[in-house]
Amino acid sequence: TYVIVNGEFINRSEAKIDIEDRGYQFGDGVYEVIRVYNGKMFTGTEHLERLIDSGKKIGMDIPYTVSEIKQQLESLIDKNRLNLGTLYLQVTRGIAPRNHAFPSNDVSPTFVAYSKEVGRPVENMKTGVKTILNADIRWLLCDIKSLNLLGNLMAKQKAVEAGCFEAIQHRDGVVTEGSLSNISIIKNGKVITHPADNLILNGITRQKVLEICRNNDIPSSETPFTVDDLKSADEVFLSGTTVEITPIVEIEGEKVGNGSLGPITEHLQALFVKEIEKECGT
């Protein structure tokens, strides 16, 4: 399969990373994961705008425009004959002698992208997933889609070791987000999710869900909610590029609602599929 390294299409086996690439040494960079349905990117523009924005937030200018990256990714999809899967993109601050301080402006970022075939998470979407609660010990710039994922990895690993899919993170009892997803609760017919501030990644899927709510008269609100609110919610779901809209049916061994996919989550899933079809065809 082909990969993109700094604008060039090369064979994956020929791609090389310098041992002093700052992404490799420091996690000094940003990334995106974009869904491909029917050979077309879903919410590609939104993801690429966030990539450039994440770069800006760490003082890094990504040397391509959204439409330039889009063109490259469309070629990658074609070359790899990708129909259903994901694109992974990352941009690091580049290669320079190891030094905490940023290198001078003549060091250019390293841009890498590759594709992977991945099916839709149909099973989890139907039966739901189990979760644990975990203290959110991450830094205070979680809005940046940074390569530094150790906090997220450790949270996810804890979930896996407990036989669960996701860790619901909270700061002093206020639910922030999962290790790889945003969390929403439904209470008395209203969808509630953490506001898009510095404590969460403003998920593109999260934004799509809120847009769907607005356009379909489903009440929604971006308001902080507590672990107690979470436990007494009628329905809980997680959202993300690869997980789409997945119901959470268990938290720390306790059932959410009656422990199965709830009606509003199911409705949102159906409306989400319509959005996919609108943008990517069927």
Residue 198: phi and psi, rounded to 5, are -75, -5
Residue 185: phi and psi, rounded to 5, are -115, 160
Stretch that binds ligand PMP, among 14-22, 60-68, 199-207, 258-266 (CB under 6 A): 199-207
Kindly give the interhelix angle for 204-215 and 44-57, rounded to the nearest 10 degrees: 130
Looking up tokens 């953490």 gives 194
Q: Which of residues 220-279 bind ligand PMP (CB under 6 A)?
A: 239-241
Q: Closest approach of Cβ 122 to ligand PMP, in Å?
A: 18
Q: Which of residues 33-72 bind ligand PMP (CB under 6 A)?
A: 33
Q: Closest approach of Cβ 243 to ligand PMP, in Å?
A: 8
Rank residues 180 and 256 by Cβ distance to ligand PMP and give the closer one: 180
Q: Closest approach of Cβ 160 to ligand PMP, in Å?
A: 15
The answer to the question of residue 131 lying near ligand PMP (CB under 6 A) is no
Q: Closest approach of Cβ 244 to ligand PMP, in Å?
A: 9
Rank residues 93 and 206 by Cβ distance to ligand PMP and give the closer one: 206
Cα dihedral: 154, 159, 163, 166 (round 10): -130
Rank residues 77 and 210 by Cβ distance to ligand PMP and give the closer one: 210
Cα separation, 202 vs 195, whole angstroms: 8
Cα separation, 81 vs 70, whole angstroms: 16
Scanning 101-226, the segments in alpha helix (DSSP H) are 122-127, 150-161, 204-215
Report the Cα 9 to chain-centroid distance in Å: 25
Whether the Cβ atoms of residue 52 and residue 109 lie closer than 8 Å to each other: no
Stretch that binds ligand PMP, among 9-17, 59-67, 196-204, 224-232 (CB under 6 A): 196-204
Q: Closest approach of Cβ 257 to ligand PMP, in Å?
A: 23
Q: Which of 57, 79, 145, 231 is catalytic?
A: 145
Single out the residue of 54, 146, 205, 265 in contact with ligand PMP (rule: CB under 6 A): 205
Cα separation, 156 vs 151, whole angstroms: 9
Across 153-211, the runs of DSSP E, i.e. the strands, are 166-171, 174-175, 182-187, 190-193
Whether 145 is catalytic: yes
Cα separation, 91 vs 147, whole angstroms: 9
- Cα end-to-end distance, the chain, whole Å: 25
Binding pattern for the stretch 143-182 against ligand PMP, x by CB under 6 A and - elsewhere: ---------x------------------------x--xxx
Q: Which of residues 66-125 bind ligand PMP (CB under 6 A)?
A: none
Single out the residue of 4, 89, 206, 264 in contact with ligand PMP (rule: CB under 6 A): 206
Q: Closest approach of Cβ 101 to ligand PMP, in Å?
A: 27
Whether the Cβ atoms of residue 34 and residue 87 lie closer than 8 Å to each other: yes
Give the residue numbers annotated as catalytic, written as ranges: 145
**Given the rule CB under 6 A, which residues bind ligand PMP?**
33, 152, 177, 180-182, 201, 203-206, 239-241
